[in-house]
Amino acid sequence: MQHEGSPSLLWASLKLSFHVRNAQELKEFCEKQKWRLPSYEFSSGPEGRGYVCRLTLPDADIRGMQSGLQPNQKAAKAEVSVDGLKVARIFAAQQEHS
Protein backbone atom coordinates (compact mmCIF):
# COMPACT_ATOMS: atom_id res chain seq x y z
CA MET A 1 0.00 0.00 0.00
CA GLN A 2 1.24 3.48 -0.88
CA HIS A 3 1.05 6.40 1.48
CA GLU A 4 1.56 10.13 1.21
CA GLY A 5 5.18 10.99 0.58
CA SER A 6 6.01 7.63 -0.99
CA PRO A 7 8.49 7.63 -3.89
CA SER A 8 5.79 6.48 -6.33
CA LEU A 9 3.46 9.35 -5.45
CA LEU A 10 6.32 11.83 -5.56
CA TRP A 11 7.39 10.58 -9.01
CA ALA A 12 3.82 10.81 -10.31
CA SER A 13 3.58 14.37 -9.01
CA LEU A 14 6.88 15.34 -10.64
CA LYS A 15 5.83 13.83 -13.97
CA LEU A 16 2.54 15.76 -13.90
CA SER A 17 4.41 18.97 -13.09
CA PHE A 18 6.81 18.28 -15.98
CA HIS A 19 3.91 17.78 -18.40
CA VAL A 20 2.12 20.97 -17.40
CA ARG A 21 5.31 23.06 -17.34
CA ASN A 22 6.35 22.16 -20.90
CA ALA A 23 3.07 23.22 -22.47
CA GLN A 24 2.97 26.30 -20.23
CA GLU A 25 6.51 27.33 -21.28
CA LEU A 26 5.56 27.11 -24.94
CA LYS A 27 2.39 29.14 -24.31
CA GLU A 28 4.35 31.83 -22.43
CA PHE A 29 7.00 31.96 -25.15
CA CYS A 30 4.29 32.50 -27.77
CA GLU A 31 2.70 35.25 -25.69
CA LYS A 32 6.09 36.97 -25.33
CA GLN A 33 6.63 36.81 -29.09
CA LYS A 34 3.04 38.05 -29.63
CA TRP A 35 2.31 34.90 -31.64
CA ARG A 36 -0.93 32.98 -31.84
CA LEU A 37 -1.10 30.21 -29.25
CA PRO A 38 -0.26 26.65 -30.26
CA SER A 39 -3.00 24.17 -31.05
CA TYR A 40 -2.89 20.48 -30.23
CA GLU A 41 -4.66 17.53 -31.80
CA PHE A 42 -4.66 14.05 -30.28
CA SER A 43 -5.09 10.67 -31.90
CA SER A 44 -5.13 7.18 -30.45
CA GLY A 45 -2.24 4.85 -30.99
CA PRO A 46 -2.42 1.42 -32.60
CA GLU A 47 -5.26 -0.71 -31.26
CA GLY A 48 -6.37 2.24 -29.11
CA ARG A 49 -3.26 2.07 -26.95
CA GLY A 50 -1.64 5.35 -25.99
CA TYR A 51 -1.80 8.74 -27.68
CA VAL A 52 0.04 10.82 -30.22
CA CYS A 53 -0.17 14.62 -30.17
CA ARG A 54 0.23 16.92 -33.17
CA LEU A 55 1.30 20.51 -32.61
CA THR A 56 0.50 23.43 -34.89
CA LEU A 57 2.17 26.79 -34.34
CA PRO A 58 1.82 28.77 -37.58
CA ASP A 59 3.83 31.80 -36.43
CA ALA A 60 6.90 29.56 -36.04
CA ASP A 61 6.08 27.67 -39.24
CA ILE A 62 5.28 24.50 -37.29
CA ARG A 63 2.50 22.39 -38.77
CA GLY A 64 1.87 18.82 -37.72
CA MET A 65 4.89 18.29 -35.47
CA GLN A 66 4.15 14.99 -33.79
CA SER A 67 5.00 13.34 -30.49
CA GLY A 68 5.90 9.72 -30.16
CA LEU A 69 3.39 7.26 -28.80
CA GLN A 70 2.78 8.08 -25.12
CA PRO A 71 0.67 6.43 -22.43
CA ASN A 72 -1.64 9.45 -22.02
CA GLN A 73 -2.52 12.79 -23.62
CA LYS A 74 -0.59 14.87 -21.09
CA ALA A 75 2.63 13.00 -21.79
CA ALA A 76 2.11 13.28 -25.55
CA LYS A 77 1.43 17.02 -25.28
CA ALA A 78 4.48 17.51 -23.06
CA GLU A 79 6.78 15.70 -25.47
CA VAL A 80 5.67 17.64 -28.52
CA SER A 81 5.73 20.92 -26.54
CA VAL A 82 9.41 20.42 -25.67
CA ASP A 83 10.29 19.91 -29.32
CA GLY A 84 8.00 22.73 -30.43
CA LEU A 85 9.59 25.15 -27.98
CA LYS A 86 13.06 24.31 -29.29
CA VAL A 87 12.00 24.95 -32.88
CA ALA A 88 10.08 28.10 -31.93
CA ARG A 89 13.15 29.55 -30.19
CA ILE A 90 15.34 28.85 -33.22
CA PHE A 91 12.73 30.37 -35.53
CA ALA A 92 12.42 33.50 -33.36
CA ALA A 93 16.22 33.92 -33.23
CA GLN A 94 16.44 33.65 -37.01
CA GLN A 95 13.70 36.25 -37.39
CA GLU A 96 15.60 38.66 -35.13
CA HIS A 97 18.73 38.33 -37.27
CA SER A 98 17.04 38.75 -40.63
Going by pLDDT thresholds of 50, 70 and 90, the confidence category of residue 19 is low
What's the pLDDT at 98? 78
- Closest-CA residue to 79 (of 47, 49, 58, 53): 53
DSSP per position, 24-93: HHHHHHHHHHTPPPPEEEEEE-GGG-SEEEEEEEGGGTEEEEE---BSSHHHHHHHHHHHHHHHHHHHHH
pLDDT in tens, 62-78: 999 999 999 999 999 99
pLDDT in tens, 20-45: 688 999 999 999 999 999 999 999 99
Q: Where are the domains of the chain?
A: 7-96
CATH of the domain spanning 7-96? 3.30.160.20
What angle (nearest 5°) sits at the alpha carbon of residue 72, between those of residues 69 and 77? 75
